[in-house]
């Protein structure tokens, strides 16, 4: 694939902040024009500005990844304004934690809808452009929670589901030059983990210190730690790596 003739466009969902924003910045630094997708286009302004400041090209697009029509419209806007996407990072996510006996159906459905249905809808919408280009990279955000996590029956099921989805995408799309891999982060400092600290009644500092103490490398993760791993899977040279799950957790299981 020649960079001069093939537009290289990457789509990152949930990129207004946290891991998605760091990933969008990293892919821009790698040379991609980046579509910064999130629920509210205005919330993406910071990420877009940061990319433009470092000399890159970015576009803010509103999407609810769990909604089919919204996904169709968002991907069409990306194609029209930036070009056909060849990289997709399914990063958008929410938590609705509760112990199983207290978890209601809405908490279950909303988490499964954003992570799993969202990744399915976005992957289905983007794959046609990758297949046409005979090149594509799909990276899904899983989690160490896929291995089980108290208070997260919904989230851990969704994150384990992301791994199964990834492997099937790898099998179906490999013949078209499209790889699919998953990154499974451990504890990363973002608004998501700040919210968890609040839920368990700890200060965010104490919560981070406790997580670092349990982690072999003795620190918590940063969004850039995850962006690095996504960047690797998105590389053209990583074309023989597919269907894999990389735990980026400061230890074998975080």
By CB under 6 A, name the binding residues for ligand NAI.
13-14, 16-20, 38-39, 63-66, 91-94, 114, 118, 141, 143, 185, 187-188, 190-193
Q: How far is the CB of 189 from ligand NAI (least distance, A)?
A: 7
Token pair of 251 as six digits: 């230890």
What does residue 230 show for φ and ψ, rounded to 5 degrees?
-60, -45
Token pair of 136 as six digits: 């594509």
Q: How far is the CB of 56 from ligand NAI (least distance, A)?
A: 19
Nearer to ligand NAI, 133 or 182 (CB): 182
Q: How far is the CB of 91 from ligand NAI (least distance, A)?
A: 5
State the residue number with the nearest CB to ligand NAI. 18
Could you count the other beta carbons within 10 Å of the beta carbon of residue 99? 10
Catalytic residues: 155
Could you count the other beta carbons within 10 Å of the beta carbon of residue 166? 26
- Alpha helix (H) residue ranges in 174-241: 191-199, 204-214, 223-234
Nearer to ligand NAI, 131 or 167 (CB): 167
Nearer to ligand NAI, 38 or 107 (CB): 38
H or E stretch at 34: strand 33-38
Nearer to ligand NAI, 135 or 155 (CB): 155
Task: Please classify residue 154 by burial: count the beta carbons closer than 10 Å to its beta carbon, then call 0-12 exposed, 13-18 middle and 19+ buried.
Answer: buried
* DSSP-assigned beta bridge partners for residue 58: 34
Contacts of range 154-158, beta carbons closer than 8 Å, 24 or more positions apart: 154/96, 154/103, 154/107, 154/108, 154/111, 154/112, 155/95, 155/96, 155/97, 155/111, 155/115, 157/112, 158/111, 158/112, 158/114, 158/115, 158/116
Q: Angle of helix 68-81 relative to helix 118-133, nearest 10 degrees?
A: 30
How many angstroms separate the CA atoms of 59 and 80, rounded? 11
């Amino acid at each position: 694939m020649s960079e001069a003739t093939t537009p290289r466009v990457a789509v990152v969902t949930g990129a207004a902040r946290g891991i998605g924003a760091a990933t969008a910045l990293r892919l821009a630094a790698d040379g991609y024009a980046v579509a910064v997708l999130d629920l509210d286009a205005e919330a993406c302004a910071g990420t877009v500005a940061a990319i433009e400041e470092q000399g890159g090209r970015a576009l803010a697009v509103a999407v609810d990844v769990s909604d089919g029509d919204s996904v169709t419209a968002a991907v069409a806007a990306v194609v029209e304004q930036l070009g056909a996407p060849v990289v997709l990072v399914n990063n958008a996510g929410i938590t609705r934690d509760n112990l199983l006996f207290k978890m209601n159906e809405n908490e279950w459905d909303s988490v499964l809808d954003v992570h799993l249905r969202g990744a399915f809808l976005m992957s289905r919408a983007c794959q046609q452009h990758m297949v046409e280009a005979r090149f594509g990279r799909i990276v899904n955000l899983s989690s160490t929670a896929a291995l089980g996590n108290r208070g997260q029956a919904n989230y851990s099921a969704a994150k384990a589901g992301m791994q199964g989805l990834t492997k099937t995408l790898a099998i179906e799309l490999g013949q078209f030059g499209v790889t699919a891999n998953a990154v499974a982060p451990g504890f990363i400092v973002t608004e998501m983990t700040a919210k968890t600290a609040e839920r368990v009644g700890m200060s965010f500092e104490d919560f981070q210190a406790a997580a670092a103490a349990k982690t072999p490398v003795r620190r918590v993760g940063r969004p850039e730690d995850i962006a690095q791993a996504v960047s690797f899977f998105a590389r053209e040279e990583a074309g023989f790596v597919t269907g894999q799950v990389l735990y980026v957790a400061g230890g074998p299981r975080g």
